[in-house]
């Protein structure tokens, strides 16, 4: 491609070629301004009708909004222009013309409903707010990768097509694999555990998880991005320490690198959490929820925490907090129970007042107990032989967790639906685009 200058880099007295989209045409009579937008911003291109080449002016006046154009010209200082500079063009080329009827208005002047925006993501992510979310998402993913590496974890990728699900059962999407039934993986849980027993010891993965959840809520997707961590020789408290550090690193990176994006989103009170995340036991959590009086019925030991209860607790405890020591019976089989009390699990959740962000725990690494756990959960340990057998060959104690990437971003930015943080969401209504 020909050399091209980003609009943000256009410096007075330079002759440049810029390329981008026609954001707007402002025709003031004798003079008109073509506003050209690229990934770095916008620039004003001046068209003086009586003074410039007629054909050039005509091309500029006729081009439709959102067409791709290439402009060659001289950059001039112009204090009245939005960016203090403008281009006086010597050539305007329409590279790809856009139809006059657009399914949504990328300038954002006309609001569009979320389904329309999702159907036309290309145009939607030309909008400043949408683009800002995905720039922030990119920053978050980079920050968590760097933070994991600073903890000595190796990045892995594990299969998404599997013979059996992590927890078996209902939330699996079946597929046909060369004539046999297979599934889309609902979590890298078992694979990441297998790797703590390998020479890698400490691993992380950022990748898709697939959940055939029937419900349609603002916090569930059928394909989500899971940020997973697992480490050998860790207990659940050490896993929580890393979890807290990773979440804080994501916030810090956004505060440091995304000031423009936060401004575009109208977020002027972005705060990096600086206090330690409170750690409440499940027992304390139900007592505190009951004390808020927000629930019609008091919770008793063994109940799952209802969403209203989590909200109420969040108001009282803060933005991020852990709930630890869950009843063993409501946590999955691969989570280890406390050695001194087998009714209590080492599982933990990290909560935000709006939704659960993380589940984790120390894992059961003892072969006999693990196999027993499968049976208790109604699963056939034989089907998981590829996993359980490795526990016979020296599997260290280990712990880890998973955070939903979209939930992290949605709570960080106060987005009311996690679909805002996914380019092409998969849900009950959406399989395309």
Choose the catalytic residue: 24, 78, 283, 356.
Answer: 356
Query: How far apart (Å, rounded) are the C-alpha atoms in residues 29 and 154?
Result: 61
Task: Pick what 231 binds: Mg ion, ligand ATP, none; C-beta below 5 to 8 Å, kind-dependent.
Answer: none
* 213 catalytic per annotation: yes
- Contact in structure between 385 and 374 (CB atoms under 8 Å): no
Choose the catalytic residue: 127, 137, 211, 363.
Answer: 211
Task: Pick what 358 binds: ligand ATP, Mg ion, none; C-beta below 5 to 8 Å, kind-dependent.
Answer: ligand ATP
* 219 catalytic per annotation: yes
Burial of 2 (0-12, 13-18, 19+ CB in 10 A): exposed
- Residue nearest ligand ATP, CB atom distance: 404
**30, 92, 33: which is closest to 67 by C-alpha?**
92
Residues in the chain: 433
For ligand ATP, give the closer residue by CB, 213 or 294: 213
User: Least distance to ligand ATP from the beta carbon of 161, Å?
Assistant: 19
Token digits of residue 353? 């007042």
Footprint of ligand ATP on 281-300 (CB under 6 A): none
Compute the radius of gyration of the chain from its Cα atoms.
27
Distances from the Cα of 23 to the Cα of 156, 172, 388, angstroms: 41, 44, 58
For Mg ion, give the closer residue by CB, 33 or 333: 333
* 407 catalytic per annotation: yes
User: Least distance to ligand ATP from the beta carbon of 54, Å?
Assistant: 57
Footprint of ligand ATP on 394-413 (CB under 6 A): 402-404, 406-407
**250, 201, 200: which is closest to 225 by C-alpha?**
250
- Contact in structure between 360 and 400 (CB atoms under 8 Å): yes
Q: Does 37 bind ligand ATP (CB under 6 A)?
A: no
For ligand ATP, give the closer residue by CB, 214 or 256: 214
Burial of 55 (0-12, 13-18, 19+ CB in 10 A): exposed
Footprint of ligand ATP on 350-379 (CB under 6 A): 356-359
**Count of residues in contact with ligand ATP, rule CB under 6 A:** 15
Choose the catalytic residue: 117, 126, 219, 354.
Answer: 219
Task: Kindly report the three-state secondary structure assignment for every residue of 142-157.
Answer: HHHHHHHHHCCCEECC
Choose the catalytic residue: 171, 359, 365, 406.
Answer: 359
User: Least distance to ligand ATP from the beta carbon of 40, Å?
Assistant: 32
Q: Could you please report the per-residue DSSP string of 374-399?
A: HHHTT--GGGGHHHHGGGGS----EE
For Mg ion, give the closer residue by CB, 189 or 359: 359
Choose the catalytic residue: 127, 320, 407, 426.
Answer: 407
User: Least distance to ligand ATP from the beta carbon of 167, Å?
Assistant: 8
With the C-alpha atoms ordered 248, 249, 251, 256, is the resulting torsion angle positive or negative?
A: positive
Footprint of ligand ATP on 220-259 (CB under 6 A): 220-221, 224, 226
Residues annotated catalytic, as ranges: 211, 213, 219-220, 356, 359, 407
Binding site for ligand ATP (CB under 6 A): 211, 213, 220-221, 224, 226, 356-359, 402-404, 406-407
């Amino acid at each position: 491609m020909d050399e091209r200058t980003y609009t943000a880099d256009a410096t007075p007295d330079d002759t440049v070629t810029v390329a981008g989209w026609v954001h707007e045409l402002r025709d003031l009579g004798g003079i008109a301004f073509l506003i050209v937008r690229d990934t770095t911003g916008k620039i004003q291109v001046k068209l003086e009708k009586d003074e410039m080449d007629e054909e050039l002016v005509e091309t500029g006046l006729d081009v439709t909004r959102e067409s791709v154009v290439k402009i060659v010209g001289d950059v001039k200082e112009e204090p009245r222009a939005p960016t203090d500079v403008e281009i006086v063009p010597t050539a305007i080329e329409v590279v790809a013309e856009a139809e006059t009827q657009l399914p949504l208005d990328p300038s954002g002047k006309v609001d569009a409903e979320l389904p329309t925006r999702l159907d036309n993501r290309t145009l939607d992510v030309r909008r400043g707010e949408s683009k800002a979310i995905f720039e922030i998402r990119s920053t978050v993913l980079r920050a968590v990768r760097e933070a994991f590496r600073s903890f000595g974890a190796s990045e892995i990728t594990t299969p998404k097509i599997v013979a059996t699900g992590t927890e078996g059962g209902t939330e699996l999407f079946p597929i046909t694999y060369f004539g046999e039934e297979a599934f889309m993986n609902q979590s890298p849980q078992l694979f990441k555990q297998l790797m703590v027993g390998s020479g890698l010891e400490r691993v992380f993965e950022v990748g898709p998880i697939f959940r055939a959840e029937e419900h349609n809520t603002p916090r569930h997707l059928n394909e989500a991005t899971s940020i997973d961590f697992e480490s050998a020789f860790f207990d659940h408290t050490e896993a929580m320490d890393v979890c807290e550090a990773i979440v804080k690193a994501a916030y810090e990176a956004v505060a440091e690198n995304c000031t423009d994006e936060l401004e575009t989103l109208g977020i002027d009170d972005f705060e990096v959490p600086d206090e330690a995340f409170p750690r409440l036991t499940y027992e304390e959590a139900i007592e505190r929820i009951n004390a808020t009086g927000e629930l019609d019925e008091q919770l008793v030991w063994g109940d799952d925490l209802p969403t209203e209860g989590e909200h109420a607790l969040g108001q009282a405890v803060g933005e991020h907090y852990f709930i630890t020591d869950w009843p063993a019976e409501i946590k999955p089989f691969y989570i280890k129970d406390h050695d001194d009390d087998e009714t209590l699990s080492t599982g933990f959740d990290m909560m935000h007042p709006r939704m659960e962000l993380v589940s984790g725990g120390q894992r059961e690494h003892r072969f006999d107990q693990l196999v027993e756990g499968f049976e208790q959960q109604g699963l056939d340990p034989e089907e998981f032989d590829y996993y359980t057998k490795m526990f016979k060959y020296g599997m260290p104690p280990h712990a880890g967790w998973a955070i939903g990437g979209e939930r992290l971003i949605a709570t960080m930015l106060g987005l009311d639906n996690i679909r805002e943080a996914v380019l092409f969401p998969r849900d009950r209504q959406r399989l395309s685009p």
